[in-house]
Structure 1
Amino acid sequence: MTEHQPREKFATQMHSAMLAELRALAKSEGRQLQSLIEEAVSKLLETRQTSEPDFEALMKRNHDRYASVFEKLAK
């Protein structure tokens, strides 16, 4: 994401201790809280979008796990 994209305000909640750690980290790095949150969300989205499950591996695992059930259903 670029810095020139429009921003939208929103509200959320988190555990007090986690927020305190996040504020301390922002202060120690000389950054704004929103900058750290945007970085974290960006990394989460990138990870989730690129971590597609291996369909063939899932099918094999389920076939191996439920082979007896599949055999009964096929009859």
Structure 2
Amino acid sequence: MASQSREKLATVVDSESLAALRDLAKREGREIQALVDEALADLIEKRKHRKPRAGVMAAYRTSHREFAPLYRKLAG
């Protein structure tokens, strides 16, 4: 893996979240930094694609099948 440049980031988190993060790192035998890197990469990837969740789309399709005539009346 190629070496990536790194920059320092300071932030403040609530005590419960930090305790949970520390516990997770300990249970997984990983550094907190590795978990933060993973979480940030996941968030960035999710936001980059901005697709609706599958469950939301399934509910929309079900609703549309059931109420399509009503939706057309409301739109007209």
CA deviations over 1:15-45 (Å, ceiling 9, x no partner): 0010000000001101000100010010000
Please list the CA deviations of residues 20-74 of structure 1 after superposition, one character each: whole Å capped at 9, or x if unmatched.
Answer: 0000000110100010001001000000001157xxxxxxxxxx8xx69xxxxxx
Residue type matched to 1:38 in 2? Answer: D
1:28 counterpart = 2:18 = no
**Whole-angstrom distance in 1 between the partners of 2:2 and 2:15:** 28
CA RMSD of aligned residues (A): 2.0
TM-score normalised by L of structure 1: 0.64
Percent identity (aligned): 47
Q: Which runs of 5+ in 1 are unaligned?
A: 54-63, 69-75
Distance 2:2 2:28 in 1: 19
In the alignment, what sits opposite 1:14? 13
- Structure 1: 4+ residue segments shifted above 2 A: none
Q: What residue number does 1:43 align with?
A: 42
Structure 2 unaligned runs (5+)? 53-71
